[in-house]
Amino acid sequence: MERKASAVWSGGLKDGKGSISSSSGALKEVPYNFSMRFEDAPGTNPEELVAAAHAGCFSMALSGQLDAAKLKAERIATTATVTLEKDAAGFTVTAVHLDLKAKVPGADKKAFDTAAENAKAGCPISRLLKAKITLSATLEA
């Protein structure tokens, strides 16, 4: 299985602009530029897209872990926060924090935490990233 996305960039680093597209069409020439990535200008950037991919991947992986434990989530809500820092090598994604809130009828805290940790370790995007990945998991009543 392969998935594709593409980016086109024109101009210099700070005055240039680009767009990101995906073969599925979910992203179609979505603009991005320096100020969207390194400042607070509205718009997307590669790190935000990595965060979205990780949140989605982790949520699905958790659902699979819960299925294996014969539990079914009513709701899984994950926010991934990607940290981008400048170090000696340049800008590096140094960490991802997953903030999970889930409603899983019949789950006890131990089973929930085990499923969440297994999903964090086993999610394909987690395995892709070299950054430190942390997790805060809340089982809602």
* Nearest by Cα to 104 from 133, 130, 67, 132: 67
pLDDT of residue 81: 97
pLDDT of residue 141: 84
pLDDT of residue 113: 96
* Nearest by Cα to 6 from 41, 32, 38: 32
Q: 57-140 belongs to which homologous superfamily?
A: K homology (KH) domain (3.30.300.20)
- Enumerate the β-bridge partners of residue 30: 20
The string of DSSP letters for 20-44 reads: EEETTSSSSSEEE-HHHHHS--SS-
Which residues, given as ranges, of the chain have pLDDT below 70? none
pLDDT of residue 89: 87
Domain ranges in the chain are 5-38, 57-140
pLDDT of residue 1: 87
pTM of the entire structure?
Answer: 0.91
